[in-house]
Amino acid sequence: MRPFLPKYLLLSLIVPLVATMGAVAQQGGAPPQKPAGQPATQQQSKPGGQPAQPATQQPPPATLPARVPDTSLNPDIPQPAYGPYDTIIVPAKVYDGELLSAQTIEYTWVHAPMPPAMRRRMEEWTRLRNAVYVTYPYARRAGIIMNDINSKLALLGTEGERKAYIQTREKELKKEFTAPLEQLSIYQGKILMKLINRQTGNNCYNIIKDYKGGFTARFYQTVAFFFSSNLKQPYDPKGDDRVIEAIVQEVERMYHG
């Protein structure tokens, strides 16, 4: 039994040595040497014999550039204090001596049913506007014709010549305006008389009286009375007829561009 003891001791020494050399050969030979000038990392052994991992240094927290104070604001208004993580920029507005965050929101359209009273006023205004648009061209034409007739009558010396000239122009005007004026409603006829007063500076009763005589003027005044109208109605652009005047100004912008 004694000859086996030395062999067993020798084998127990050779096997660990061969295993160690094989492991070194697999890793590429001897461990690399560190360059000179670099300190060796110290490893602390943990309980149990295992070496500890080398400690890694945490990078310092990022620092934001210093904010430049806004010199456009009133120096009496306190400036906001910013922290290292204040990175969201929002709009601001000065309100009551204090700088507050503000934002412009989009338009919000609110639709509601029109009240009955407002609807009636809207219908009346639409009816009046339509009547002015229909009758204003006739009133404008009437003003031009009357100015032309008056300038011609001023050159005539006798009353007979004046009547003959008026009858001639009356036939021309009837031929030109009878058909379209017959299509007007009573309401539009009332608006036309107001607009003629505006264009000529005289009401329809006095115009008929000057050209056709007082009897004819009274006759047409009676006819107008039965239609709840009045040839002597005035025109007040700053009073009762201010709405008509506003619509007329709108129409005249179409004529004058």
Q: Please tell me the predicted confidence (pLDDT) of residue 190.
A: 92
Q: Please tell me the predicted confidence (pLDDT) of residue 5.
A: 47
Q: Please tell me the predicted confidence (pLDDT) of residue 146.
A: 87
Residues 6 or more apart from 86 whose CB is under 8 A from it? none
State how far the Cα of 177 lies from the Cα of 169, in Å rounded to an integer: 12
Spans of the chain, pLDDT less than 70: 1-73, 257
Residue with tokens 């919000």: 108
Please work out, in degrees rounded to the nearest 5, the angle formed at the alpha carbon of residue 204 by the alpha carbons of 199 and 205.
150
Q: At what angle do helices 116-153 and 159-182 cross, to 10 degrees?
A: 150
Asked whether the beta carbons of 221 and 205 are under 8 A apart, the reply is: yes
State how far the Cα of 21 lies from the Cα of 157, in Å rounded to an integer: 149
What is the enclosing helix (H) or strand (E) of 101? strand 98-101
Q: Please tell me the predicted confidence (pLDDT) of residue 1.
A: 46
Give pTM, 2 decimals. Answer: 0.55
